[in-house]
Structure 1
Amino acid sequence: MYPSRSQSREKDKHSSKRRRRRAWAWINVSLLLLITAMLTYYFAGDGGNSPAAQPPLAESTASPLPSSTPELPAVQPSLAADSQPEATVTPEPVQTPVPALEATPAPSPSAETAATPSPPPSPDNSKPDNEQGSGAAQGGATSGLPEDAGGQTVTLNFAGDVIFAGKVGELLQKQGYNYSYSALDGMFKTDDLTVVNLETPITTGGVGAADKQFVFKGAPEALDALKSAGVDAVNLANNHTLDQGEQGLLDTLNHLNTRGIPYVGAGKNSKEAYTAQYFERNGIKIALLGFTRVIPRSDWTAGAGKPGLASVYDSREALKTIAAVKQKADIVVVVVHWGKERVEQYDSTQQTLGRSFIDAGADLVIGGHPHVLQGIEPYKGKWIAYSTGNFIFTRSATPATWETAVFQAECSIKGQCSLTLHPMYAELGRPVPMNDVDGQLLLNKVQSLSAGLIRISNDGRVSQIGR
C-alpha cells in the first residue's frame, strides 16, 4: 500500500532538515579548523612581536651617557652671540660654616655691562655628541706624542681650583702657606709650566659682593708660597675673581704683578683680559689663555675701560684671539671655567665650546668649575679635559669633591700632546697623592666618564680608544 501524500511530504521535510543539519555541522567544523589555523599562525609569530617587528638595537639603545645627568643647551657655533651669565647650582650643606662650593644668584644685568645683553638661552635637552668625539679622521694621534716627533718637548702641569679663604685661610695662617704644597714632592718645580685656577681675590681691602652667597678673600702672603711651589701662572677667569669688587680685582692684579706671576682671563680692561701670556721653554713657544662661561653678573665682563673677566657667553672675541695667538705660538693652551657644580658628566654646552676652541687653533683645553672631575675627550688629535676638580680647597659634604688629579701634558713643538693623570686627595687646604688602590679607582672613574672614548692605563697615561 502506498503512503499517503501527506506522509510523503512529512518524510521529505525530515530528510531536508537532516541535510541542512549536516551542512551546518560541516560549516562549523570548517570554521573551527580555520580559527585554529589562524591562532596557530598568530602564536607561532610571538603575538606580532617577532624580532622583525621591533626596532633595531642601534635605534633603541640609550645614549652611553648617564640619563640622570642634568643637561644644558648646546651653544650655537661659537661665532653666534651667546646667552647672559647664568647662576650656578645651589650648593648642598657643607661640613664647615665656610663654603666649599659656590652658588650664585641669577645674573642681574647692569648699566655698566660692556656688551649689549643677549637673549636668554633656551632650555637644554641635548647631550654631548660622542659620535664625533674622537675626531679620528680629522687629526693626529691622541694616544701620545708621535714616534717621529723628535726634538724637544715641554711638560705642562694643570691643577684645579685654589682658594685661600675661609677654613683654608685659617688653616694656612696656623700651618704656614707652604703647607698646601708639602705633599707634592716638588712636582711643580721640575716641569716646564704649571697653571692653576686662582679662585680667590688677593686683597686686604675691597668690598664684598652684596648679591653673592659666598664671597672669598685671600691674603697676599699666599702668593709667595704659590710661586715658591713652582706655580708659573694662574687663571683668573672664574666666578670669584670679583668677589671683592673691581678694586679687589685690581689689587689681585697688582699683587700678582709684584711677584712676577703671570695671569690670564682678567684684566684692567677687555684687551688685557683677552690677552695671552707667552712662555718660551726648550725652544718651544707656549701661549696661555683663560676664559669663563660662569659669572654671577653680566657686568663682571671686562670692557673697553672697565676691569673684568674674559667671558665666553659670546665666544667670538675668544675665538678670534685663539686664531691670532696660534700664528705666534707653537702650542696654544686654553683654560676655561664652565659647566655645573658637582655634576660629573660634561654637557653639550661645554663640548661645543671646547671643540670650537680647538677648531680655532687651541692644542689643549683644560676645564674647571664643577668642583669634581669630569671626563676627557679626544677631538681632532687634541685633548679636552672637561674638569680638573678642586685642588687647594675646603672639604664639602660631597665625597666626589675630595677627588682630584694633576693633569700633566707632554707636548711637542707641533702642538701634539700626551696626557697623564696623577690622582690626588683634595684634603682641607692641601692636595695629597692617592694610594695605588684609590688612585686606580679614580682613573677608572675618569675613564668611565669619558663616554668610551679613552683608556687610562695604570700609570695614568691617557690614550684614545682604537689608537
Structure 2
Amino acid sequence: MSYSRTRTHQISKKRRFRKLLFVNVTLLALIVVAGGLLAAQWSASGGVDGAPGGRSEAPPASAPAAGNADEPSGSGNANGTPTDPGNAGDASNGTPTGSDSDAPGTPDEPAGGPADTQDQVTLAFVGDILTASTVGSYMDKNGVDYPFEYAAASLQAADITAGNLETPITNREDPAENKTYVFRGKPEYLTGIKNAGFDVLSLANNHTLDHGWEGLSDTMDYLDDAELQHMGSGVDAEEAFTPVIIESHGIRVAYIGVTHVVPDGSWKAGENHPGLADTYNTKPAVAAIQSAKELADIIVVMVHWGNEREQQPEQAQFDVGHTFVDAGADLVIGSHPHVLQGFEYYNGKWIAYSLGNFIFTTNGNSVTQQTGVLKAACTKDGACGMNFEPMFAHNFQPSPMKPEEGALLLAELSDKSYGAKVDEKGDLIPVSAGGGKETP
C-alpha cells in the first residue's frame, strides 16, 4: 500500500510551522534578554544624568534578524474500455459489503490566498468531468484546453470553482475486474483543468479506483503537483473524510466529497484501509460536516448518488441530502446520473440533485449533453444566492446555450425542482409552502 503524498504534505506543514514557531520564540527571547541587559547598563550608569559632564549614552544594541522558515508528463492513450462507452455506468446503488469508515479528522490549515474585506464569496460548480476515452483523444489532437474553450470564462469568474473528476490520472494500467467501463487519464490533462479555472475536485465516485489504490494514489499526487485541491479519498477514512478548506474574501469554505455509488465494498476507506469516503452509512459524513462547522463559515458537500439517466431523484437522494443539511451543510451538490435533475430549497439551504455531465463521452443522447454551471454568491453566515447558466456540450465542449434553448431548459429544471423555481434568468428562487413542488 503506497503512502499518500497529501498526508505527507500535511505532516510537513506541521513540522515547518513548529520550526518557524521555535525560531520566532527564540528570537523574541534574545530580544527580551538584550533589552534587559541594556536597561541594567543604563540603570547602573545613572540614567541620562548619571555620567559626569553630560548625558551617558549606552552603546546601541543590535537584535538578530529573523529568517524565513524553511507539469508531469504521461505516456499511453487515456482510453476507457470500451473506447466510447457513452453514459452507461457500472455500479448499482445497493449497499456493498465492506467495513464502515471511521469519524473524520480535521485539516491543518486552509488553502487559498489572503482574506480581504469583501462580504461574499462566489462559488461555481459543474458535474462529471471525464478526461479519458474519446475525450482524451480529442485533447491529444486539439490540446488540453480544448474541452473548456467556451466555458472557461464562466468558470474563471468565480472565486472558487469545483467539479467531480470521474477518472483516475495515472500511467499505470491495472484495470479493475468485473467493471464494464474502466477509465484512465493522462497527467498532462490536469493542465487543461487547471487552466480552465478549477480549484477543487471531488474524487469520491465510482471510477477513481478503476486502476486500484495505486492509480488513485497517483491521481492524488498528480493533483497535488498541479496545485488542484481534492477531497473524498485517502489512505484511510480519516483522510478521505477530511475537508478541503479554501479561504477567499475572508470567508472560509469547506468542501467534503462523498459517494453513494461504490462498485465494491473494498473501495470504501476504513480505519486502516485506503479508498473513498462513502455515505451508505451517513454517520461519518455527518461527523465530517459537524467538524467542519468549527473550522469554516460555509460547508459544501459534493455527493455522487442517484440512478443513471433518471431525471428525477430517487428517495435515497432526498433522505441523504436532507440529512446533510440538517447536520449543517449549506450547499449539497450532486453528480452521477449523467443528466440534469432539479434543485431543492430545504430548511433555508440549497440542494442540486444532479448537475449532469460537464465533460464526458456521449452516446448521442442529447439529454446527457445538457449541462451548465451552477453559481452561488454566499455570505459568511452561509446564505447563498443561486444561478444556473445552461450549456450544451457539443463534441465534448460545453458552451452557453442560445437564449431560446436556454429558456426551455431552465423551465424544465423549474418544473423538476422542489420548494423552488428557476426563472428565465437562471436564478433559483425559494417558493413559499404550498407554492411549489414538494419533496415526495
The question of a shared fold, defined as TM-score above 0.5 by the shorter chain, is answered with: yes
Which of these residues, 357, 374, 388, is aligned with residue 407 of structure 1? 374
Q: Evaluate the alpha carbon distance shift between residue 413 and residue 267 of structure 1 in structure 2; reply closer, same or farther with a 3 A threshold.
A: same
The TM-score normalised by the length of structure 2 is: 0.74
Q: Evaluate the alpha carbon distance shift between residue 254 and residue 215 of structure 1 in structure 2; reply closer, same or farther with a 3 A threshold.
A: same
- 1:183 paired to 2:155: no
- How far apart are the structure 1 equivalents of 2:366 and 2:96? 35
Q: Evaluate the alpha carbon distance shift between residue 100 and residue 387 of structure 1 in structure 2; reply closer, same or farther with a 3 A threshold.
A: same
8 A contact 1:108–1:297 mirrored in 2: no
- How far apart are the structure 2 equivalents of 1:108 and 1:320? 20
Matches within 5 A, 1:74-153: 97-104=83-90, 113-115=98-100, 152-153=119-120
The TM-score normalised by the length of structure 1 is: 0.69
One-letter code of the match for 1:114? S
- How far apart are the structure 2 equivalents of 1:250 and 1:428? 30
One-letter code of the match for 1:319? V
- How far apart are the structure 1 equivalents of 2:152 and 2:100? 45
Matches within 5 A, 1:68-467: 97-104=83-90, 113-115=98-100, 152-451=119-418, 453-466=419-432
| Equivalent position SS for 2:266 | helix
How many percent of aligned residue pairs carry the same amino acid? 41
| Equivalent position SS for 1:188 | helix
- How far apart are the structure 2 equivalents of 1:190 and 1:449? 27
Structure 1 position 402, deviation (Å): 1.0
Q: Evaluate the alpha carbon distance shift between residue 97 and residue 220 of structure 1 in structure 2; reply closer, same or farther with a 3 A threshold.
A: closer
One-letter code of the match for 1:464? P
User: How many residues matched?
Assistant: 336
Structure 1 position 426, deviation (Å): 2.0
Structure 1 position 337, deviation (Å): 0.3
Unaligned runs of 5+ in 2: 1-81, 102-116, 434-440
One-letter code of the match for 1:157? A
8 A contact 1:105–1:211 mirrored in 2: no
Q: Evaluate the alpha carbon distance shift between residue 436 and residue 105 of structure 1 in structure 2; reply closer, same or farther with a 3 A threshold.
A: closer
Higher gyration radius (CA): 1
- Considering Cα pairs closer than 8 Å and 6+ residues apart, tell me whether 1 or 2 has the greater RCO: 1
8 A contact 1:206–1:247 mirrored in 2: no
8 A contact 2:95–2:280 mirrored in 1: no
Unaligned runs of 5+ in 1: 1-95, 117-149
Structure 1 position 97, deviation (Å): 4.8
| Equivalent position SS for 1:187 | helix
- How far apart are the structure 1 equivalents of 2:310 and 2:152? 31
Aligned position for 1:47: none
**CA-atom RMSD, angstroms?**
1.8
One-letter code of the match for 1:423? P
Q: Evaluate the alpha carbon distance shift between residue 185 and residue 314 of structure 1 in structure 2; reply closer, same or farther with a 3 A threshold.
A: closer
Structure 1 position 267, deviation (Å): 1.2
8 A contact 2:342–2:417 mirrored in 1: yes
One-letter code of the match for 1:98? D
